[in-house]
Amino acid sequence: MIYFDNSATTQAAPSVLETYTKVSQQVWGNPSSLHNFGETAFHLLEQSRHQIATLLGVKSREIFFTSGGTEGDNWVVKGTAIEKRSFGKHLITTAVEHPAIHNSMEQLRDLGFDITYLPVDKEGRISVDDLKAAIRPDTILVSVMAVNNEIGTIQPLTEVAEVLKQYPKIHFHIDAVQGIGKGIQSMIMNDRVDFVTFSGHKFHAPRGIGFIYSRTGRKLAPLMSGGGQESNLRSGTENVPAIAGMAKALRLLLTDEDEKVARERAIKQRVYDHIKTFNKVTIFSQPTDGFAPHILCFTINGVRGETIVHAFEDQGIYISTTSACSSKKHAASSTLTAMHTPEAIATSAIRISLDENNTLAEADEFNRVFDKLYQKFSKINADV
């Protein structure tokens, strides 16, 4: 089996599962309990928080645990709207965000907030000039993803941060779910960013666990009310085994990061150089610094994306249409639609997404299978 669908989810690392199992079996106390067993769980929780904060170069009190990227995005968007509604009801995001951001914004629109979606160019990237023009006196949040989950575009985060330095009261949020461990941490964790969302299952941690970075001094209304965990900002008994596993997974991810990024980029380049030679292939992800090293999106024109996905699956290679969240809906890529890609091409889009465990040998096998499938599709479809 060749697994090229790591942007959808990653396999939990064996050592991470060992940590998860060990904590589940030996430290199952509630970290809010007063007895020694609860204290042991609490200390492990705080140790994990400290480890994550140290890896990101921030303070422990700026890390808050969630159930994953979707909750984190919802929390920042809606929590900002609730907290700052007396100062304004205008929020800015991009036309290519993950549904967790887009749908949260639309929910706020229904509640009377005003949303601006920044357009993107032919590579799926926003213009800083458009951002400048969109900012209003009542703007309370700018939310921009680090890496597009469908085609891998890296947004101009540093330039956005420079613009927002002139507007210190506006919250600046980055969805870094696809960006962690991809060589752009300095862009993500710059000193103007207020909130960052992370999801554990994207970097070999268990599913159902994540965290946000919340800069000291920024206020965010809680969405989860209850027992007052996470400094009264995210109630609910903390999932200590998964949190400990996630802390370990993040440490492993960021160890030798440059080497891992170079490996992913080389694999992406190997596939890119091969498929670009075919006439009926349209490629949306480039092997340049403006794109993440692990995502390659392309089409075989005239063949629907789900057809291509299942054809590769029959050969033991697992890829996806452009987003796992929309793949079963048979919908055109929202990113490609925002890029004004014709629907006939957008519905043919597929995505391969890599991690540090993939190899060049797997890329060569992918290319071999691609040749066979391309020839097959050419025989049955005159458009190929």
Give pLDDT, residue 283: 97
Q: Domain count of the chain?
A: 2
The whole domain housing 113 covers 14-254
Question: How many CA within 13 A on the CB side of residue 181?
Answer: 26
Residues 233, 262, single domain; the answer is: no
At 329 the pLDDT is: 53
The residue among 254, 288, 315 that closes a domain is: 254
Task: Supply the CATH number for residue 288's domain.
Answer: 3.90.1150.10
Q: How far apart are CA 188 and CA 158, in angstroms?
A: 8
Residue 383 lies in a domain: no
- DSSP reduced 3-state for 317: strand
Residues, the chain: 384
Give the pLDDT confidence of 58-87 residue by residue, as tens digits: 999 999 999 999 999 999 999 999 999 999
Q: Given this model, what pLDDT does residue 327 score?
A: 47
Do 231 and 275 share a domain, yes or no?
Answer: no
Domain end marker among 223, 254, 285: 254
User: In order along the chain (384 residues), what is the average pLDDT of each group of 10 residues?
Assistant: 98 98 95 90 97 98 98 98 97 97 98 98 97 98 98 98 98 98 97 98 98 97 94 94 98 98 98 97 95 97 95 98 59 84 92 97 98 90 64
Of the candidates 7, 4, 3, 1, which has an alpha carbon nearest to the alpha carbon of residue 326? 7
Domain CATH number, residue 241 = 3.40.640.10
Residues identified as active-site: 325
User: What is the rounded end-to-end Cα distance, in angstroms, of the chain?
Assistant: 27
pLDDT tens profile 301-341: 999 999 999 999 999 999 999 765 554 555 567 899 999 99
What pLDDT does 344 receive?
Answer: 87
